[in-house]
A and B are shown apart, each in its own frame.
Chain A
Amino acid sequence: MKNPYFPIPMRVKRTSVETTDQMLRTIELSFLNEEDKRAFHFIPGQFCELSVLGKGEAPFGIASSPTENGSLKFTINKAGVVTTALHHIEEGAEVGLRGPLGNGYPITLFEGKNILVIGGGFAFTTLRSLIAFFLQPQNRNKVKDITVIYGARMPGLLLYKEELKEWEKRDDIKLVVTVDWGDKDWNGKVGLVPNVLEEVAPSSENTYAVICGPPIMIKFTFPKLMALQFPNERIYTSLEKRMKCGIGKCGRCNIGHLYVCKDGPVFSYDQLEKLPKDY
């Protein structure tokens, strides 16, 4: 029997601060064992449990795309014990990893369709994985139009700024970046995500929407999606709950009979509607 609680060793290859408030740091991890690397296959939207031994373990969405071979990226919000330890970790250090865990985005459902990606704040991590996956030349034909609306409170809080610039230059993705408050160097859009969605007004025809962000953003964006006539079964989101085991044993992450760690974290609104409001 393989032990699903036993982490594999990873090396911290690079770390970089993402945001001006210093609260978000991206760490890139490479596999220390060749066989672990060969055995690791994931799809966008899955997550891993990262261990800093002695401090503990916490779940993080995979921010890199499966098409970026050889290493994994995670973007970490400094919140408590483990996340703080991951902020202080040095390049070359060893961390533990369990995964990939969870179901991931329904990539095959998206095939042949348009996708609308709506992200707010640092929940953009796994959305970045999803977008990068479909922008890869061998995958680009799998979906039709890619529309991305990404908002942060301030320009300094946007993630992956270099990459956003690259995407802006391409003509096979429509990217709208917005901030709640601009600053003197900001010449992009200013406005809240729900309002920007209304303005951009992408057609819901043949389109799947994926939305991740702070609850308040989701609360106000959802009615706009309804107004655009997106049916519940074509709106997907990724949930967060307190987790420990990540494999449906320890009990704490359930919503009704489903476990967010193993049956999620990605759910359609159609599924969520049938579950108790226990999140």
Chain B
Amino acid sequence: MTLKLDKKDLKAFLETLMEEYDLFAPVKLAEGVSIYKKIDSPDEVDLSTENPQKPAKEVFFPQSETMFRYEKAGKRYQMTSTEGVERERVILGARPCDIQAFSLMDDVFLGKEYKDVYYGNKRKATTIIGLACPHPLSTCFCSSAGGGPFLRKGSDLFLIDLGEMFIVELLTEKGMAFQKNKFFREANTKEISLAKGIEEKASTKADASVPIGGIDRRSDLMMENPFWDRMHEKCIGCGVCTFLCPTCHCFDIVDEAITDKGQRVRNWDSCLFPLYSQETSGHNPRPTGRERTRQRLMHKFNYFPKNFGRVACVGCGRCILYCPVNFDIRQAIKLTSPKEIKKVKDEVDLTRQ
């Protein structure tokens, strides 16, 4: 069902939304720093900038999250879980790549053996209003990663920016609940065809030529390849690419305590940090950048596909945009072609002679 929302009604629409839901949307904190956060006033919402720096995964999987609180009472502990979600939620303005990444997170957190209640409760309580990307950046390669700038899958409602208004598509049952919303009106054929035009133009812009297809099988043979000696060389291990990646989901669990009270907290972690896999004995199975870079890329393009049947990269390009030393994951993917691998091997063999 195709409707429209006049931009002059946006504020009022958000106000009514916030009466019923906790609203999460992009907020510009400073030039070049946008994040998804809980909205206190509709004025904060900024749908005009490009894809926010921090991915929307934060809404379901916060950078730091309390798991339970405890307090000591005599010899016993009183423990209270913080897994509950008080109100229904709406994410507004998430881009198709971040929304595709939710489905990858679902595979991990809502897998068949164990369910992660902290993620699951938030996920279940959330309605997703996606926002189309009319102007993919030069670093975007969603179209190579099974997505696209207008991918609707995963959205309950989908917005397309026409300048004065948004086209509003209601896609799921959760979305249809908005059918009678007083700010939504029927879109006319002219507006609908305008949106189509924007979609067609955008879809040619996101790079569809990164050779992701078949990478899981190609990389099978790569574990001990000199490829990794080269690949990790310039990485300084800052971890930015993993924190800003919408599909990265590693975390650490720590206790924070003051005398008899405290809480257990989980925090984002990164496989690129040396301490991540270091054992108490001092032994580290991934002692250098070589093994850690290999872990990051192999997890995305080999291990994840083995477990869940698709790669753990949605082509959002954040890891390319924000890497301080210009590590380009597209380049790494291209270099996994048999021809390129042989070239690297020959080069390394030469320098070793």
Residues of A near any B CB (own CB < 8 A): 1-7, 9, 32, 51, 53-57, 79-80, 83, 92-94, 96, 240-242, 244-245, 247-252, 254, 256-257, 262, 276-279
CB pair B116 A4 closer than 8 Å: yes
Complex alpha-carbon distance, A3 and B115, angstroms: 8
Q: Can you list 17 contacts pairing A with B, beta carbon distance less than 8 Å? A: A1-B117, A2-B117, A3-B81, A6-B68, A6-B83, A9-B77, A9-B79, A54-B255, A93-B75, A94-B75, A244-B253, A249-B249, A250-B251, A251-B269, A257-B302, A278-B285, A279-B285
Among candidates B117, B223, B257, residue contacting A53 with C-beta atoms closer than 8 Å = B257
Within 8 A of A (CB), among B300-323: 302-304, 306-307
- Which of B67, B79, B81, B306 makes the CB contact (< 8 A) with A257? B306
Q: Given A257-B302, A257-B307, are A1 and B120 also a contact pair (CB < 8 Å)?
A: yes
Please state if B117 and A9 are interface contacts (CB–CB under 8 Å): no
A41 to chain B, nearest CB (A): 16
Question: Are A54 and B262 in contact (CB-based, < 8 A)?
Answer: yes
User: Which residues of the partner chain B approach A2 to less than 8 Å between Cβ atoms?
Assistant: 115, 117
Question: Quick check: is B205 within 8 A (CB to CB) of the other chain?
Answer: no
What are the residues of chain A within 8 A of B67 when measuring CB–CB?
5-6
Contact residues in B for A94 (Cβ distance below 8 Å) = 75-77
Complex interface: chain B residues within 8 A of A245 (CB): 251, 253
Query: Which residues of chain B are near A248, meaning CB under 8 Å?
Result: 108, 111, 113-114
Q: Are A6 and B280 in contact (CB under 8 A)?
A: no
**Chain B: CB-nearest residue to A83:** B280
Residues of chain B whose beta carbon lies under 8 Å from any beta carbon of chain A: 67-68, 70, 72, 75-77, 79, 81, 83, 108-109, 111, 113-118, 120-121, 223, 249-255, 257, 262, 264, 266, 269, 271, 276-281, 285-286, 291, 295, 298-299, 302-304, 306-307
B303 contacts A92, C-beta separation under 8 Å: no
Q: In the bound complex, how far is the Cα of B298 from the Cα of A56, in angstroms?
A: 30
Query: Are the CB atoms of B285 and A257 closer together than 8 Å?
Result: no
Is there contact, CB below 8 Å, between A244 and B251? yes
Contacts of A83 on B, CB cut-off 8 Å? 280
A250 engages B303 (CB within 8 Å)? no
Cα–Cα, bound, A250→B108 (Å): 9
- Please give the distance in Å from B213's CB to the nearest CB on chain A: 19
Asked, given contacts A7-B79, A252-B269, whether A242 binds B279 with beta carbons under 8 Å apart, the answer is yes
Pick from A6, A53, A57 the residue with the most CB of B within 10 Å: A53
For B116, B223, B262, which residue has the most chain A Cβ atoms within 10 angstroms?
A: B116
Q: How many A-B residue pairs have CB under 8 A?
A: 127
Known: A248-B113, A278-B285. A1 touches B277 (CB 8 A): no
Interfacial chain A residues near B117, Cβ < 8 Å? 1-5
The CA of A242 and the CA of B285, in the complex, are separated in Å by 9
Assess the A4–B303 pair: CB atoms within 8 A: no
Report the Cα distance A278→B303, complex, angstroms: 13
| Interface SS majority for chain A | loop
Most buried by A among B108, B264, B299: B264
Assembled-state Cα–Cα distance A250/B268 (Å): 9
Q: Which of A6, A32, A242, A277 contacts B278 (CB 8 A)?
A: A242
For B115, what are the chain A residues with a Cβ–Cβ distance below 8 Å?
1-2, 4
CA distance A248 to B249 in the complex (A): 11
B77 x A79 contact (CB < 8 A): no
| CB nearest neighbor in B for A32 | B76
Please provide the 6 A-B residue pairs with the shortest distance between their CB atoms, ordered closest to farther.
A54-B257, A251-B250, A257-B306, A257-B303, A247-B114, A79-B280
- Is B285 within 8 A of A241, CB to CB? yes
Given contacts A4-B116, A53-B77, A257-B306, is CB(A252)–CB(B250) below 8 Å?
yes
The answer to whether B76 touches A251 (Cβ under 8 A) is no
Q: Which residues of B contact A257 (CB under 8 A)?
A: 302-304, 306-307
Kindly state the separation between the CA atoms of A4 and B112 in the bound complex, as whole angstroms: 13
Specify which chain B residues have a CB less than 8 angstroms from the CB of A1 in the assembled complex. Answer: 115, 117, 120-121
B303 close to A254 (CB less than 8 A): yes
In the complex, residue of chain B having the shortest beta-carbon distance to the beta carbon of A12: B75
| Nearest chain A residue, comparing its CB with the CB of B257 | A54
Whether B279 lies near A57 (C-beta < 8 A) is no
**Known interface pairs A57-B253, A92-B75; A3-B83 also in contact (CB < 8 Å):** yes
Having A54-B70, A250-B252, one finds 5 other A-B pairs with CB under 8 Å, namely A6-B81, A9-B77, A9-B79, A242-B277, A242-B279
From B305, which residue of chain A is reached at the shortest CB distance?
A257
Closest to A275 in B: B223
Q: How far is the CB of A39 from chain B (nearest CB, A)?
A: 15
Contact B83 A262 (CB under 8 A): no
A53 close to B255 (CB less than 8 A)? yes
Among B253, B254, B266, B278, the most chain A Cβ lie within 10 Å of the Cβ of B253
- Scoring A79, A83, A251 by chain B CB atoms within 10 A of each residue's CB, the highest score goes to A251
Chain A residues with Cβ under 8 A from B262's Cβ? 53-54
What separation, in Å, do the CA atoms of A1 and B109 have in the docked complex? 12
Of B68, B76, B120, the residue contacting A9 (CB under 8 A) is: B76
Residues in B whose Cβ lies below 8 Å from that of A249 = 108-109, 114, 116, 249, 251
A68 CA / B252 CA spacing, docked (Å): 34
- Interchain nearest-CB distance for B108 vs A (Å): 6
